[in-house]
Amino acid sequence: MSQRLPRFIFHVDLDAFYVSVEVRENPKLKGLPVVVGADPEGGKGRGVVMTSSYEARKFGLKSGMPISTAYRLCPQAVYLAPHWELYEDASRRVMRLLRGHADRFEQLGIDEAFLDVSERAHDLERAKQIAMDIKKELQDSLGLTCSIGIAPSKSLAKIASDRQKPDGLTAVPFDDPKGFLAPLQVSVIPGVGAKTQAFLKEHHIETIGQLQQVSGQQLLK
């Protein structure tokens, strides 16, 4: 019986995409706390933060936060209105580039995608090289960075891509995916929100490793 070959799945996530496009267009913004979203109107504005630079996130800013809260936390940030045409054009170019590296391709929104590279990567080292090629090509041709997770499944790849942001590359050990997941907080599991986290915490479960040790029946008691 022939051995089943592993699947090599990438999750490619553009780093702070809207802000990165703005910085590419205006390099003077590089290294500054930058927010794309509603007008803060001196702290009285309505609306939310769409995304922020990693420099702004150090002050506690995050996507979906009220713009008035963001201004209170970081009044010195550069606040920009979104430029949708710029982002959509950049996204089209990114996705065209990614498709060229994939056997199978699935776009997720404007700034992330899954790539199956199993037919062109017969081992993990080759998969890593393809990922590095993608990152270099994105930087050289489009002036953008991304973080990539490599795993045997889409859900694992998505978790991995968030481990070393920005401009990261994380490969799940194919021989021990449970070991990779064990120390991570349950909040990294796609679909696990605040209510589920609170429920699990009541059962003294905060890491995936702890969750791996219990059965569904135990949680229903």
Catalytic option among 25, 41, 88, 112: 112
CA–CA distances in Å: residue 184 to residues 163, 165, 197, 205: 10, 15, 13, 11
Order of strands across the sheet with 104-108? 104-108, 112-116, 9-14, 146-151, 169-171
Q: Which helix (H) or strand (E) holds 52?
A: strand 49-52
Count other Cβ atoms within 10 Å, centred on residue 140.
8
Alpha-carbon gap, residue 67 to 73, rounded angstroms: 10
Is 112 an active-site residue?
Answer: yes
Active-site residue list: 112
